[in-house]
Amino acid sequence: DLQPCGGTHVANTREIGSLRVSKIEKKGAQNRRVRIVLS
């Protein structure tokens, strides 16, 4: 699956605010788990 969908959706990215990537994990040859922290 090439869709990075985590299940949560917003109408506009302004609703999220600042974020940072806290961790990227390999989950197979093509899959990555990206963990973010909202500021």
Interval 3-18: pLDDT, tens: 667 677 889 988 888 9
- Where along the chain do its domains lie? 1-39
Q: Which DSSP letter does residue 28 get? A: S
CB-CB contact of 10 with 16 (8 Å): yes
CB-CB contact of 19 with 37 (8 Å): yes
The tokens for 8 are 């949560």
Segment (H or E) for 35? strand 32-38
- Kindly report, residue by residue over 18-37, the tens digit of the pLDDT: 999 999 999 999 889 889 89
Largest CA distance in the chain: 33
pLDDT of residue 18: 92
